[in-house]
Amino acid sequence: MQNPPFRLELPRSRTTSVVFASPHSGRDYGLDFLRRTVLDELGVRSSEDAFVDRLFDTAPGLGAPLLAATVPRAFVDLNRSADELDPAVIRGIRPQPHNPRISSGLGVIPRVVAGGRVIYRGKIELEEAEQRLERFWHPYHAALRRVLEESRAAFGQAILIDCHSMPHEAVRVGTGKSYRRPHVVLGDRFGAACSTEVMDKVQAAFERAGLRVSRNTPFAGAFITQHYGRPEIGQHVIQVEIDRSLYMDEGRIVPSKDFPAFRGILRGVIEEITEIGRASPKSLAAE
């Protein structure tokens, strides 16, 4: 894989403190990786947040940067810490204290895709894992830190919308007969990664578009939300999970006939969210 690990689409003029990012929509599967995996093409793509970068690609036209991974999640997971290394898939790694993501095979170099299906036959070398981090993980996070710092310097705050998708069945567990499945799950680590004021406004933007929203259940945010969310310094992070059935055929991993209309709905949501980033931090806190 020699392609750049991400695309950074910048607006002609940054008019908002909001940054949009999509760390799991990468789909540049190198031939060497595809030859090594035991999965077929659909299987290896099953963990991909397919087309999420396209859903949010109107953001630069509304004054906000869009950072979109090109490297696939099955190859290196940009929403994990660089030290979440799985000894079950990387040779030479010592077992770590219990980490549920590593235990389930979803470390920074994943062992499995959706449904617990293994990616490789055997292990990869530690040197190769380190090369992947150096080539893909570190540049992506360097770019993410840079755009957030630029927002804070220009606007006094940064609001990161970390964009993801979820299988339609992901929120079935634990629901009652009268439960209405959410279209969108917003995660802010139960308030640790984002101020209440910003979270309330982002939720309202989705709800005004007619979308049902849940907070932090069943997804509260992973590494990016936890690591970059620092509301005490004016840096807010919200992880957004969108029901894939709203815009794609999950079995075939292709956009559905509803894709253009849903992208149009999200454009309105994005426009409202960018407006949140045009308010001064003081005025947000006063509301």
Residue 54 above 80 pLDDT? yes
pTM of the entire predicted model? 0.94
pLDDT of residue 96: 77
> In angstroms, rounded to a whole number, what is the distance separating the alpha carbons of residues 197 and 235?
13
Mean local confidence (pLDDT), 145-155: 98
pLDDT at 282: 56
Q: Is 70 exceeded by the pLDDT of residue 176?
A: no
Render 167-228 in DSSP notation, one character per residue: -GGGG-TT--TT----SEEEESTTTTSS-HHHHHHHHHHHHHTT--EEESSS----HHHHHH
What secondary structure letter does DSSP report for 133? I
> Residue 53 class from Cβ within 10 Å (0-12 exposed, 13-18 middle, 19+ buried)?
buried
According to DSSP, residue 236 is labeled E
CA dihedral angle for residue 100, residue 104, residue 105, residue 107, rounded to 10 degrees = -20
What is the mean pLDDT of the segment spanning 69-79?
Answer: 97
H helices of the chain, in order, are 31-36, 41-44, 52-55, 100-103, 126-132, 138-155, 196-208, 223-228, 259-276, 281-286
Rounded distance, CA 143 to CA 281, Å? 23
Domains by residue range for the chain, with CATH: 6-75+127-286 (3.40.630.40)
pLDDT-based confidence at 4, cuts 50/70/90?
confident
pLDDT at 169: 84
Report the pLDDT averaged over residues 20-43.
95
d(CA 38, CA 89): 14
Please say whether the dihedral angle defined by the alpha carbons of residues 125, 40, 166 and 7, taken in this order, is positive or negative.
positive
